Chain A
C-alpha cells in the first residue's frame, strides 16, 4: 500500500456576508481510498464533485478537516511543511492547466530544473543532461530550453508540466485532467509514456478525469465521485458490469460514440445524407 485515506473530509467555510454568518461547503466527504504501488486509480466525476480538492489534500496543498492520510503505513495527516519536505519529491502532480502553475518569467529550462535545484546538488552539466532527458521523454528537444511559457502551445505547456513532475523521480504521480488540452496524436503518445513509466519505474498514478473513455486503457480501478463522496470503486475493465450506481451508468452513457455507426442517439442518423449522396 503506497497511500491510503481514511474518512478524509474537507469542509470550506464561506463567508456569506455581514451578520448572515458562514456557510459550509463539504468538498470532500468521508473518502476512503487505497493507492496500491504500481497501479493506477482513476477518479472520475463531473466538475465540482471534489476530485481536485481530494488530489490537493493528498499532495499536501490543503489540510483536511478530519480523517487521516497514510503514506506507506505512516500517518502523515497534519504534518508541518518542514516534516513533509522529504516526502514531497515522491508525490508529484501534473495540473490540468500547467501554464497557470508556471512562473511566466522563467524559461522552460528553469521550470524543469527548479525541482532538481531544490532537492539535488548537480553540476551545471549534469543538470543540463537531466533536463534534456526529461524533455526528450515528453517529445520536446533543446530548441525549447529558452522558450517562455507563453511561447508554447497548450500541448507543449502540458508536456513541460509532465516533465517537471517527473524530474524528481516520484513514486506517485497525481494527474489532474492532464490530457484535456492535448490533441489525439499527442494524447496517445503521452498515454504510452505514462504506461511505460508505470512499468519501468513501478510508478503509481492517481488519474483524475471526467473522460471515461480513457479509463479502461489506463486505470486498474476507478473511484466514482459525486458531491464529495466516493460512490463506489470498481475494476476499470468491467466498469459497466460492476457498477451498482445509476450515476456511474449515466457517466458511461455520456461517452461519445467511437464510430459513426455506434452513435448514441438513433435519431442522429448519418444515413439520410449518406444515401442522398450516393444517389
Chain B
C-alpha cells in the first residue's frame, strides 16, 4: 500500500519584519512527511529550517508571518485554524522536540508532574491513570526504572535522559507527526547513537512520521529516508537519502557533500608561505 503523506507543506512563504526591512525566511517551500518514515531537512544555520518547523506549529514569533501557502496535516490546513483549534492539535496530532532538552523542561517541577500535567491537558483521565500512562511512555522511550524517574527533577538527569523524557512527552498524547529540531546536537556521541536508534524505532515500529531538522549530515546518513536541502529559504533539492548522498544534482548539495569530508588541505599553507 502506498503510504500517503501526513504532512504536506504547499508553496509556503514566510516573512520576518515588515516594510523595507522585511526578510523572506521561506520562499515557496514544498515539503512532505510520510508516516513511518524519517524526512530530513538540512541546510546551513540561518537557512530557514527552524522557521519552517515553527510555522507548521503556528509558533513563529510576532515579527514573523506566513505570506502565502498551505500546511496540511491529514485533511486540515493548519494555517486556517483558529489559535485555540491549533493548540488542541499540538500534542494530540503533532509534537516537537528541541536541541536543548534540559532547558526545554521546567526546572522546578519533577518529570512526573510535567508528564501528568501534559497528559491531563489532552485526555480526560484521573491522576492515577495519567501516572500509569506516564510510566508506560517513559518505558517506551527506553528509560530504565521509569516509575522512579517520575520523582526526579531535570537537573538530576543527563542530557540524553532529558531528551528521552522530551520524546516521551511529545508522543504521550498520541501525536503521529514528530518534528525534531537538532535533537542530538547537544548530546554526546554515545547518547546520540541511542537517541537516533530510538527515533528510528518510533518511525518503523509505531509509524511515527518524523521531520528531522539538522545540519549534521552524519545524522542524516544514519537514519533518514528522504532529504530536503534548503538554502536561503528555498528547497533546492529533494530526494531519497541514497540519491542525495550519491548523486547530488544541485551545486549546493554537492558542496554540502564535500564539506562532509573533513580533510583539510595542508598544501594550501605551504603554497601561501612560499608565495609570501
Contacts and interface: CB of A to CB of B under 8 A. Distances in A.
Given A47-B158, A268-B200, A273 B240 contact: yes
B222 A217 contact: no
Contact of A184 (B158, B191, B217, B263): B217
A260 B45 contact: no
Contacts of A182: 45
B63 interface: no
Interface stretch (B19-27, B81-89, B266-274): B266-274
A265 B199 CA distance: 13
Interface string A168-188: 000000000000111111111
Given A256-B193, A256-B218, A270-B225, A47 B242 contact: no
B256 A184 contact: yes
Contacts of A154: 45
Contact of B197 (A180, A199, A217, A265): A265
A199 B259 contact: no
Interface residues of B, number: 45
A256 B221 contact: yes
A261 B242 CA distance: 8
B188 interface: yes
Contacts of B221: 256-260, 262-263
Given A153-B45, A185-B259, A259-B245, A254 B218 contact: no
Nearest to B184: A256
A270 B241 contact: yes
A70 interface: no
Interface stretch (A135-143, A207-215, A232-240): A207-215
B185 A196 contact: no
A270 B262 contact: no
A195 B264 contact: yes
Given A180-B185, A213-B218, A192 B200 contact: no
A274 interface: yes
Interface in B202-242: 215-219, 221-225, 240-242
A250 interface: yes
B129 interface: no
Interface in A6-40: none
B263 A217 contact: yes
A155 interface: yes
Given A47-B188, A184-B217, A192-B265, A258 B45 contact: no
A129 interface: no
Contact of B189 (A188, A251, A259): A251
A255 interface: yes
Interface string A40-62: 00000011100000000000000
A183 B179 CA distance: 19
B144 interface: no
Contacts of A260: 221, 224, 241-242, 245
B128 interface: no
A74 interface: no
A47 B187 CA distance: 9
Contact of A199 (B44, B193, B270): B270
A257 B241 CA distance: 13
A256 B242 contact: no
Nearest to A154: B45
Contacts of A180: 185-186
A277 interface: yes
B151 interface: no
A259 B224 CA distance: 11
Given A47-B188, A185-B256, A251-B190, 4 more contacts: A196-B269, A254-B192, A265-B197, A270-B240
Listed from nearest, the 7 A-B pairs whose CB atoms lie closest are A183-B215, A256-B218, A256-B222, A254-B193, A254-B190, A254-B189, A195-B264
Interface of B: 37, 44-46, 158-159, 185-186, 188-193, 196-197, 200, 215-219, 221-225, 240-242, 245-246, 255-256, 259-260, 262-266, 268-270, 273
27 contacts: A46-B190, A153-B45, A180-B185, A182-B45, A183-B45, A185-B255, A185-B256, A186-B44, A188-B262, A188-B264, A196-B269, A199-B270, A211-B189, A213-B218, A213-B262, A218-B264, A251-B189, A255-B189, A256-B218, A258-B221, A260-B245, A263-B223, A268-B200, A268-B223, A270-B240, A273-B37, A277-B240
